[in-house]
Structure 1
Amino acid sequence: MTNRPVEITLTGSPKEMGAQHGSLLREQIGNLAEIRCELLGRLYGLAALETAKLVAESMCSVMAKRTPEALAETTATARSAEIPFWKLLVAGAFSDISDVVSRTFRIKPNPHLECTLLPLRTSKGVVILGTWDSHASAVDSLILCRRQPASGPETLALSTAGWPMQQGVTSAGVGFAIANLVATTVSSGVSYIAALPHVCSGKSLAAVCKRLARVPHASARYYLICSESTQRSLEIIPGRQPGVTVDDLQCHTNHFTDAVTEQYEGRTSTIRTSRERQVLGVAFSEQSPWHASAEQRIHDFAQSAMIQRGQGDDDRTGAIFLITPASGDLHFVVPAPAGEDDTPEVVHRNISICREGE
């Protein structure tokens, strides 16, 4: 893989943006869908694919009521990419689909450790430093998507082929990032990746958080939302809306951190390692200079023990990113695979900020 993901720009109505996405990335979307469907079958058996179809149908029903514009956009993507919508959901919402399917077959959820998120107060305001981690076989699906809807804020985000956003910033000056959680419960709801286009259409941090808290989720999820001066962390438990807000700046590594939510922790087999990684993140935040450049922070973070370099089904860090909501900046690198001695170039992209009332 090169050190720069495919970059796309989408414009127009939700349906138009979805059709453009599917047409531009038809091959990448199809490849990711096949990789994820094959992995789902190996983890839970071939019957899991039929269950995944039923889960996708349930998600579609909720999306039609709660996030209709996101449904219009993503169904247009699937149609244009020439794959069934349920496969697009498996491809982009794999962790949520896997969580629900595992409960159906009474199998322990996938124990993999994934993204690390670290909010920092810097000379440029609150920033989000983090990793986008996935099964190594899916890392080639990473894209950079600039989205310019006919109405509402624009977005600039890293994501997986077929879906418009996972970690990024909006033209309203709101930064956003997500991390997986596994709770002891699942529910009828939408996937995080289908919720984000609706959530990020909010025109302020308060509006984004309000939308987020009202969307019913199928599986647990951690959201880090911030503006130049304010940060909000929400831990979502399926079936128990709204999410619990944690206001202090802290590193998050895929386990519940709030006293109210930690009783729902469903990934006990990895909780110790996850907390050890959180300690590393806290130590990094204390050592990170107040005036350090984005490039320096990313290169320093790349040397930390939280970066994963697995192959095949093992976890691998597909990107290290730094989001600066105040200026609309997104910096990122794609780390080299294990065994390769490489210092990748930091890629910088920007979105113009226009806050509500300006």
Structure 2
Amino acid sequence: MTSANSARFPELTVSGSPIDMGHQIGEHFRGQIVELSELVLERFNKGSQTKISWNQAENVARRSFGRVDEYFPDPLDELRGTAEASGVPVERLMVLNARNMLADTSEGCTSIMVSDEAAESGKGFAGQNWDNDPAMAPLSAVITRKGLGKASFTSWLQPGLVAYMGFSSSGIGICMNALNGPSNSSGLPWYFFVRAILEAQTTDDAVAAVKSAPRALTANAAMITTEGPLNLEIAPGSVESIEADSDGVLVHTNHCVHPEMTANNEQYSERIYGQSFERRDRGRGLLSAQLSNGKVSIDHAKALLSDHDGFPTSICRHPNDDVNTGWQRSVISIILEPGENRMHVSNGNPCENTYEIYNAG
């Protein structure tokens, strides 16, 4: 099906010092950032069993400043520039970046990674659906950052976030999944690690950056790199890597897979989102079936990400009657081709909306 909703997300390329890039983002997206800063807590509370006040949220954000400044000072300077240009207090922007530290929420996402050898084009790619709050779509954009002395990167995100799903000039593309496991309130917010991965010059540098700083959450980084697919299950106390299967593909959803992490699946079972095991098996099955007939193309990936097996918590998620999560949907579907300096993004469920192509700015 093709929907009339095929609009592209707004695009911006920024460059210069961190504070300069922040000023450019804050000036260009002032309206969206103001609206997002007012909505972020309301929308978070909609998906959480524990309701958080602004005072509690800003206290969490304030605790993050010192640690972020110690390990990732440049993105923090960017946030300060964004705050100055948009008129939104930097504490509110930190709430946005630390939102998944506030309390447990129910979020999905299915990620796939395909190696050069398994890809029909000969160049690997990664993709995912972002199952979340549809109110975030009008407040989202595609931003390319060209920082000084770092890899440049392009990502889809809400302006005010320091990074989200995207790809870099170093050939790294990152998707992500919420993951069940422990948290540490003294650790750093997740999106700063995503930023470090995207600004790294090599895959080794990206992994080292994740390991070198205290981590607040258990989360999953589903990556395609110049060396092939790489999945990092990241927890406060460990970082475990999962490489592609022998056929060159990898699928990850919302439960732990690495043997050192699977104990979380029982200990934190209440955090495993909608048919995570079934979605992973379904994704692997679809990729294996395709590989038995040849190789995996971008169109095959789009079909997989449009799959409705297991509805309502299928790979392509639609609103349903579930009291806690039925209001969510696949807000976007994204496929990253860092080797081609581009990504494909659907504005809404991929079964109903076309993918638009975004090149590095």
The TM-score bracket by the shorter chain reads 0.7 to 0.9
C-alpha distance in structure 2 between counterparts of 1:34 and 1:2, whole Å: 27
What residue number does 1:184 align with?
A: 182
Change (3 A) 1:183 1:206: same
Please, which of 305, 310, 318 is the counterpart of residue 309 of structure 1?
Answer: 318
Change (3 A) 1:39 1:245: same
Deviates more, 1:305-314 or 1:219-228: 305-314
Matched, 1:350 2:359: yes
C-alpha distance in structure 2 between counterparts of 1:26 and 1:336, whole Å: 27
Deviates more, 1:39-48 or 1:85-94: 39-48
Letter paired with 1:131: N
What residue number does 1:62 align with?
A: 67
SS at match of 2:258: coil
Are the equivalent residues in 2 in contact too, given 1:69–1:198 (CA < 8 A)? no
What residue number does 1:16 align with?
A: 20
Deviation at 1:45, TM superposition (A): 6.7
What residue number does 1:220 align with?
A: 218
C-alpha distance in structure 1 between counterparts of 2:90 and 2:84, whole Å: 8
C-alpha distance in structure 2 between counterparts of 1:230 and 1:133, whole Å: 25
Letter paired with 2:78: E
Aligned length: 335
Are the equivalent residues in 2 in contact too, given 1:3–1:335 (CA < 8 A)? no
What residue number does 1:117 align with?
A: 111
Change (3 A) 1:125 1:229: farther
Matched, 1:209 2:207: yes
Are the equivalent residues in 1 in contact too, given 2:171–2:339 (CA < 8 A)? yes
C-alpha distance in structure 1 between counterparts of 2:195 and 2:127, whole Å: 21
Scaled by the length of structure 2, the TM-score of the pair is 0.84
Matched, 1:72 2:66: no
Deviates more, 1:224-233 or 1:59-68: 224-233
SS at match of 2:340: coil
Map of 1:1-358 to 2, 5 A cutoff?
Answer: 3-40=7-44, 43=48, 48-94=53-99, 96-99=100-103, 109-110=104-105, 112-121=106-115, 122-123=119-120, 124-238=122-236, 240-241=237-238, 243-248=239-244, 249-265=249-265, 267-269=268-270, 271=272, 273-288=275-290, 290-291=294-295, 293-304=297-308, 305-310=314-319, 314-336=327-349, 343-351=352-360
5+ residue gaps, structure 1: 100-108, 353-358
Percent of paired sites with the same residue? 19
SS at match of 1:223: strand
SS at match of 2:353: coil
Q: Deviations over 1:105-163 (max 9, x none)?
A: xxxx22x2322111123132331021122222223222111111232211111112212
Letter paired with 1:252: H
Q: Deviations over 1:247-279 (max 9, x none)?
A: 234311111111211223464136371111111
Are the equivalent residues in 2 in contact too, given 1:146–1:154 (CA < 8 A)? yes
Are the equivalent residues in 1 in contact too, given 2:316–2:349 (CA < 8 A)? no
What residue number does 1:355 align with?
A: none
